[in-house]
Amino acid sequence: MASNIHFDTASGEFAFYSVKEKPWWNGGQISDQYEESATVIKKAHLDYPVIKAPNIYYFPSGKKEVSETDFHTFRADTEVILGTGIGAGYKVVQNAEAFAFFDAIAEKEGIKYETAGALGKGERIFITAKLPSYIRIGNNDIIEKYLFLTMSHNGKESITAAFTPIRIVCNNTLNAAMANCNNMVKIKHTENVQEQLKEAHKIMGMVNTIAPLMEQAFNQWAKVKITDKDVQRLIQIALAPSKETLDCIKDGKLEMMSGAYRNQVFGAYGYAMMADSQKLDTTKGTLFGAYNAITGYFQNVKNYTDSEEKLNAIIHGVAQKRVQAAFNLCGEFAKTGSDALQLN
């Protein structure tokens, strides 16, 4: 998989910062200690201003017209265009302002910056910050709690801040929303974006609500036994992309399913049966293991075009939707057993 991490030509370094953990493409700046946001911004090469400017149209007569409705964004340092077709109401949020959101939480909650970087030409940035507490499954299966923020300068996407639990033994992202408990905040780039950012600390309220519920659910699932046959069935249902696929599962018409879908099921089931992280007391033959297999497939098995596609998929794309479906299905299985897998 290509990284798609922005390469900063001025420094000759990738625009990526990480604490202790070496990235898979062997680029970026690795720190041996947690650092303040100003240092992280500089080391991750995120210290570039972004400017919104109106589109200018030139006519054969020599006439020039400055648009009042069509804009673009560009980096002030390299003058590379980051976004086009942007409306007048779009408000630029500088990278440092995105970090300021986490800084406000850090003062109260003690979070620490762990990774940060830019994708593409710098049109998108991401930040992960580690919370001091964790979720424990059984005796020794630890899930660390992270806040994740992603923001674009291309005029097309909201600022997204999400609670993202990560299981240490396999580095799986176990993000899912629970009943009546959202796990993310989305903020549009409008005129009041700064005020909304100030309110985004409410995500900690979400974390404090959802984390204990998630810990309770995972510990319960770690005690619920599930057969290999039911694991396969659960994976088939959770990964189903459409009602037509669910109908094929119900009728046992495997030959009617797409090759891409069958490969996904095979990959997730293979992970469930063979991955080292699936051999612990909390995961071997358990419902929690079945859920972890699906998250593990998207995190560690599935091939993506580049790191940006993977990021999109896991945080708010297809992978997140399938993981959410698996989470909901596991919740039903914990209540009713194999009946939850009957497609009536």
pLDDT digit string (tens) for 85-122?
Answer: 999 999 999 999 988 888 878 777 788 999 999 999 99
CA distance 291 to 176: 11
Torsion-angle region of residue 166: left (phi > 0), alpha (psi -120 to 50) or beta? Answer: beta
**Amino acid letter, 316:** H
How many CA within 13 A on the CB side of residue 318? 12
CB 52 within 8 A of CB 86: yes
With a threshold of 0.95, does the pTM exceed it?
no
Q: What is the share, in percent, of the chain residues with pLDDT greater than 90? A: 56
Read off the pLDDT band of 10 (50, 70, 90): confident
CB 65 within 8 A of CB 56: yes
How many CA within 13 A on the CB side of residue 72? 13
Residue of 76, 53, 57 lying closest to 66 (CA atoms) = 57
What tens digit of pLDDT does each residue of 132-152 get? 888 999 988 998 888 888 899
Can you state the angle between helices 203-221 and 287-296, rounded to 10 degrees?
130
Cα torsion through 28, 33, 37, 41, rounded to 10? -20
